Amino acid sequence: MTLYFATALLSMFFTGQDDAERMLRLVTADQPLVHSVVVDAPVKKVWEAYTTTSGIISWMVPKGEVALRVGGYLRTSYSKDSKLTGPDVIENTILAFDPERMISIKCTKMPDKFPFKKAMENVWTVLYFKPVGDKKTEVVCRMIGFDGTGESVQMKNFFRQGNQQEFDMLTKYFKSKR
């Protein structure tokens, strides 16, 4: 079934704008969540901002730690007093990486209060880093593995805002470095 046909079919059952928005979310529920940004910094610097301990704590989170290797981790906390072992920690396992080009991660530990734990089990993230000339970098974030369950759709909406906020912080960080 094509996306166009599915959309047309579902539109027969939904009327108002809220219904149309829900329909669109259902039809596209299994599609990756994609964000991209062009950052005013060379790819080497942007790569380091994502893949080193000093990099992530310079712009992303107050507390973090990176072990850049396949099977390694990216541990973060939004609490500056975190020991990176407690209920506030987010741990992403590094699935694969190609230095200064791509890193793939999967969230394997979520904070205790994270509301979408079951849905997160199916999701992984791929970040691509592409030079734009000598002094800029395009970063593309693709979160993959969503489905049509209510929890997954809600989580996708959560990360739609969260990922954009992260890219805004990254952009602001590199603007302040000029």
Print burial letters for 162-173: b (CB count within 10 Å at least 16), e (below 16). Answer: ebeebbeebbeb
Residue 10 has pLDDT above 60, yes or no: no
Name the pLDDT band for 17 (thresholds 50, 70, 90): low
DSSP 103-168: EEEEEEE--TT-TTHHHHTT-EEEEEEEEETTTEEEEEEEEE---SSHHHHHHHHHHHHHHHHHHH
Residue 118 has pLDDT above 50, yes or no: yes
Average pLDDT value for the chain = 90
pLDDT in tens, 43-81: 999 999 999 999 999 999 999 999 999 999 999 999 999
Query: Domains of the chain, with CATH numbers?
Result: 16-176 (3.30.530.20)
pLDDT in tens, 91-111: 999 999 999 999 999 999 999
Overall average pLDDT of the 32-48 stretch: 98
Residue 177 is predicted with a pLDDT of 87
Overall average pLDDT of the 112-121 stretch: 97
Residue 20 is predicted with a pLDDT of 57
Ranges 8-17, 68-77, 114-123, 160-169: which has the least confidence: 8-17
- Is pLDDT larger for residue 8 or for residue 135? 135
Residue 16 has pLDDT above 80, yes or no: no
